[in-house]
Amino acid sequence: MTFRPSLQKELLAWTLGGLVVVWSAFIYFGYHTGKHEADELTDGHLASVASLLLAQRVEAFSSQPDAASLSSTSLRAHDYQHSMSVVIWDGTGKVIAHTGQSPVPDFDLAEGF
């Protein structure tokens, strides 16, 4: 007498095996896509910060346009790069430096550092 598995058990085994393969592929590609997108977002934030830092002179704070808009630099715009502006006030409310293209907000001692 030979052992013959039933058709139902054989079909169930093949179906479950196929599902394991398909879901494993989904997990693999989803993980790598998520990792790639996270790297892109991080690169965009780093490009934004670099744009702000490149717009400032080392000697002193001074008003400068955003470095991403400067034609003299070879800073490449990134897909996820945000436009950022920094405004620096002194204790009396006088603007020391304004980087970027946003309007200067009103000075308030309760806000900021």
The backbone torsions φ and ψ at residue 28, rounded to the nearest 5 degrees and listed phi first, read -60, -55
Q: How far apart are the first and last CA of the chain?
A: 87
- Considering the domain boundaries, does residue 107 fall inside one? no
- Considering the domain boundaries, does residue 111 fall inside one? no
The domain total for the chain is 1
- Considering the domain boundaries, does residue 79 fall inside one? yes
- Considering the domain boundaries, does residue 105 fall inside one? no
| pTM exceeds 0.75 for this model | no
pLDDT digit string, tens, across residues 50-67: 777 666 655 555 555 555
- Considering the domain boundaries, does residue 15 fall inside one? yes
| pLDDT value, residue 55 | 67
Q: What is the mean pLDDT of the chain?
A: 75
- Considering the domain boundaries, does residue 110 fall inside one? no
Q: Which structural domain, as residue segments, surrounds residue 15?
A: 8-99
Higher pLDDT, 105 or 25: 25
Higher pLDDT, 92 or 27: 27
- Considering the domain boundaries, does residue 30 fall inside one? yes
Say yes or no to pLDDT of 112 above 80.
Answer: no
Say yes or no to pLDDT of 71 above 50.
Answer: no
Class of residue 112 by CB neighbours under 10 A (exposed 0-12, middle 13-18, buried 19+):
exposed
| pLDDT value, residue 60 | 57
